[in-house]
Amino acid sequence: KAGVTQTPRYLIKTRGQQVTLSCSPISGHRSVSWYQQTPGQGLQFLFEYFSETQRNKGNFPGRFSGRQFSNSRSEMNVSTLELGDSALYLCASRREPQETQYFGPGTRLLVL
């Protein structure tokens, strides 16, 4: 079974621009969570989607948003990019809440 995939893998943007990242979960997994990883900050939870509905949300500003499609693929969008948004963005999928979460390879975003 194919693992979680993310596109693009690398991205360079400038301040003020917006960006959309994509995540395709493992087949049959209905939950997709997004995390921001920066050096020294660990994995910061952004939000989780389950069956096209946002189920949980972390403490990030409204510039960070997401959605999930009927095939469980998910996108996250960051508008008005700031330098501090430079990070590795990881998504993770799981079939149901009580099951294990598996991570994608991440998208490394650099904001100049």
Partner 1 sequence: GENVEQHPSTLSVQEGDSAVIKCTYSDSASNYFPWYKQELGKRPQLIIDIRSNVGEKKDQRIAVTLNKTAKHFSLHITETQPEDSAVYFCAATAQYNNNDMRFGAGTRLTVKP
Q: Are 50 and 57 in contact (CB under 8 A)?
A: no
* Residue from the set 74, 78, 85, 106 that interacts with partner 1 by CB under 8 A: 106
For residue 14, the Cα-to-chain-centroid distance in whole angstroms is 19
* 100: contact with partner 1 by CB under 8 A: yes
* Single-letter amino acid, residue 75: E
Q: Is 29 helix (H, G, I), strand (E, B) or coil?
A: coil
Minimum CB–partner distance for residue 43 and partner 1 (Å)? 4
- One character per residue 7-46, x = contact with partner 1 (rule: CB under 8 A): --------------------------x-x----xxxx-x-
Pairwise CA distance, residues 73 & 63, whole Å = 20
Buried b (16+ CB within 10 A) or exposed e, 8-22: eeeeebeeeeebebb
* Span interacting with partner 1, options 15-23, 49-57, 60-68, 71-79, rule CB under 8 A: 49-57
* Residue from the set 9, 15, 55, 63 that interacts with partner 1 by CB under 8 A: 55
- Enumerate binding residues for partner 1 (CB under 8 A): 33, 35, 40-43, 45, 48, 50, 55-56, 58, 90, 92, 97-106
